[in-house]
Structure 1
């Protein structure tokens, strides 16, 4: 599940200093940024929910063709576990 900076940055080489400079310049020119757009957080949560529950590789014909039935089943189980985490987090 993607729920914050720790998960976001867990396996990426993110240049945080550059990101801060970029953000500061966007602020300076008055550009719209996700923190300043009403509903952007909700949109982001829906986006990642869909990405987590319908990962592209499960719908990519080339991947489905080369993966074994066992690999596909494992991927489906991972999606099922992810859905369970979302539901638990929402109190269901």
Structure 2
């Protein structure tokens, strides 16, 4: 599988480590009244959809950047690759 890194161009997926659902970027608020339940769900509950999923990938064998890869879990087709820092910043502005 080839991941088209936003800064480095096409790279073999062997250079990367899959780190899970990109929803992990959005951590629960520890000051929330329901923080314990929210952190339990954040740490232990995962969806396993068939279809498009936004995933975190770490470029361990390269520039050590974090990426958000939108990938079809059935076909492995990648439709989008973004720097995780840009995704996190955009989420911070929308809250």
Give the TM-score of the pair, scaled to structure 1.
0.26
Query: Larger % of helix: which?
Result: 1
Q: Please say which structure displays the higher CA radius of gyration.
A: 1
TM-score, scaled to structure 2:
0.26
Whichever structure has more strand as a proportion of its residues is 2
